[in-house]
Amino acid sequence: MENNTNIVLIADSGSTKTDWLLLKGNKEFSRFSTQGINPFMLNELEIVIILTKELPQLPECVEAIYFYGAGCRGEQSAIVKSAIKRVFPTANIQVESDLLGAARSVCGNESGIACILGTGSNSCLYDGKNIVENVSPLGYILGDEGSGAVMGKHLVADILKHQMPDKISTLFFEKYQLTPDQIIQRVYREPFPNRFLATFALFIGENRNNPDIQKFIIYEFECFFRRNVDQYHRPNLPINFVGSIAFFLRIELQEVAKSLGYRIGRIYRTPLDGLMKYHTAHNKAC
């Protein structure tokens, strides 16, 4: 079916933030961000409040919205769609998983393995149209290997259990001005501990040249490949990534991939550029 929309919104939503791209006549008009919209963490009313308060005033009526989000599957997708519909009652709305968004962004119509390494992590085998296999990420408590939240969790645990050199621990506490008790409070007593833990990924990146941090990063990425990518049994396919962790630590990521016999394809900080190309090329309607 031909798409005659002039104003289109594309959203990529993780647990920490949602990046939005406004297209006007199939060309980029503006970009902006709101806080993350994850239906496993927010109810419909909370999502409506975020959309109402944090989205900028849009220049014209939005006719189509493609929302790709963490936690968007099954009933959760319906929650997000209903919330968006309350704010944009006349728009055609499509809500899909952030993983499908990542796959469409980095693979387009080609087969490949698409991965997310941001606050959380995920991966899939993609046949050029659909996700055909997905190793469950399990979240930052049971899984999410290689993600910002899990790397932050392991870094903090290593520091508090004196598994890191004193120099690293000193730098950490000087940077964040947190006591061990305050860290425990934030993790166990306050909302969104995964977002809090993911903030420590910045420290990891800033100190990546330290041999102990370098060893730490390599180990975390090896866990991601062995517990996720290896299970697809497709070493012939390129491994593609989206997300800030993959983008800023791409040198280490490429090193680990090569050591395990994999070939890295595309690495995007955000999937929005690839999604813009995908939707304008396909000229799809919701």
- Whether 232 is covered by a domain: the verdict is no
| DSSP SS3 for 97 | strand
- Output the pLDDT for position 49: 94
What is the count of structural domains for the chain? 1
CATH number at residue 74: 3.30.420.40
- Whether 60 is covered by a domain: the verdict is yes
- Output the pLDDT for position 250: 96
DSSP string, 101-144: HHHHHHHTTS-EEEEEESSSEEEEEE-SSSEEE-----HHHH--
Dihedral sign from CA coordinates of 59, 1, 113, 274: negative
- Whether 234 is covered by a domain: the verdict is no
- Output the pLDDT for position 3: 45
Tell me the pLDDT tens digit for each residue of 115-157. Answer: 999 988 999 999 999 999 999 999 899 999 999 999 999 999 9
- Whether 255 is covered by a domain: the verdict is no
- Whether 66 is covered by a domain: the verdict is yes
**Residues of the chain falling short of pLDDT 70:** 1-5, 59-60, 282-286
- Whether 118 is covered by a domain: the verdict is no
- Output the pLDDT for position 71: 83
Angstrom distance (rounded) from CA 184 to CA 67: 34
- Whether 249 is covered by a domain: the verdict is no
Domain that holds residue 15: 7-102+272-282
- Output the pLDDT for position 282: 66
- Output the pLDDT for position 208: 95
- Whether 61 is covered by a domain: the verdict is yes
This prediction's pTM: 0.83
